[in-house]
Chain A
Amino acid sequence: MNEREREEIKRLLKEFVPAAGQTELGRDLWPTMLKRLEQQPIRMPWWDWALLAGVTVLFCLFPGMIPALLYHL
């Protein structure tokens, strides 16, 4: 492919795909941003879930640990 072919493709694109360069934002997005910030979910990291799953499995396999654990709490 040479420079001429690149320019030909460029010419075609510019003719049929209008540039969006100066498209202006029509409204203030801060209220939307604020809503998003207020809806911030409480996220648990994956290792917390893994730990919880591990403890649950442990309790299922060795239920005798539950009173022992409660005694030490």
Chain B
Amino acid sequence: MELLRRFAEGDPEAFEALFRQYQGEVFRWIVRIVRNRAAAEDLTVETFWRLHRAHARFDPARGKWGAWLRRIATNVALDHLRKVRGEVPLLADPPDAPGAHREPGERAELRGQIFRAMESLSPRLRAVVLLALVEEEPYEEIAQALGISVGAVKVRVFRAVRILRKQLLEAGVHP
């Protein structure tokens, strides 16, 4: 609490302490959404940069630090996805999947179709699908990170799954 109060007052040492303490957590959250290590590192720095600029708006007595941090990180990740949409094959380099591209024949083809279907989703739908279905994060946490209700998260998952299913059926994949 004391550290947060000092941060809110603009103390650079408090900011450094918070950065060192939470950089890993922020990175792990962002990499789940953008699925690219190098981008996630840059976006972690961008998250703390925005945090640093907004320090005066944080009230340690009222605000929840973790929720605030994750909300900013999510916004940064979504901004990135919007910026690179259609330019970078976002799921072509999933983290910690060595040799993922060496699958032969049908499997590689199916994988490609799934990636293309995922890339056809809007950034906010893709983020929800990745967090809810792939990473299996609790809906409450996703809702908090996106600043929406749990019901809205469920609606987004429903819409995304419907789009994915349609895309896959059109590509000849029967899920």
- Residues of chain A at the chain B interface (Cβ within 8 Å): 1, 5-6, 8-10, 12-14, 16-30, 32-33, 36-37
Is A1 within 8 A of B158, CB to CB? Answer: yes
Is A20 within 8 A of B31, CB to CB? Answer: yes
Is B28 within 8 A of A22, CB to CB? Answer: yes
Residues of B within 8 Å of A25, CB to CB, are 23-24, 27-28, 41, 44
Is A1 within 8 A of B28, CB to CB? Answer: no
Q: How many A-B residue pairs have CB under 8 A?
A: 102
Give the distance to chain A from B133, nearest Cβ to Cβ, in Å: 5
Q: Known pairs A18-B95, A28-B23. 12 more at Cβ < 8 A?
A: A1-B165, A6-B161, A12-B114, A18-B97, A20-B28, A20-B94, A21-B32, A23-B37, A29-B23, A30-B16, A32-B41, A32-B45
Residues of A within 8 Å of B70, CB to CB, are none
Q: B114's contact among A13, A19, A23, by CB below 8 Å, is which?
A: A13
Is B133 within 8 A of A10, CB to CB? Answer: yes
Residues of B within 8 Å of A13, CB to CB, are 114, 118, 129, 133-134, 164
Is A9 within 8 A of B133, CB to CB? Answer: yes
Q: List 26 A-B contacts (CB under 8 A).
A: A6-B158, A9-B165, A12-B168, A13-B118, A17-B130, A18-B94, A19-B136, A20-B28, A20-B31, A20-B32, A20-B35, A20-B96, A21-B28, A21-B135, A22-B28, A23-B28, A23-B32, A23-B96, A25-B27, A25-B28, A26-B37, A27-B41, A29-B45, A30-B20, A30-B23, A36-B49
- Residues of chain B at the chain A interface (Cβ within 8 Å): 16, 19-20, 23-24, 27-28, 31-32, 35, 37, 40-41, 44-45, 48-49, 52, 91, 94-97, 100, 110-111, 114-115, 118, 129-130, 133-136, 157-158, 161-162, 164-165, 168, 173, 175
| Cα A33 to Cα B48 with chains together (Å) | 8
| Cα A1 to Cα B160 with chains together (Å) | 11
Residues of B within 8 Å of A1, CB to CB, are 158, 161-162, 165
Residues of B within 8 Å of A21, CB to CB, are 28, 32, 135
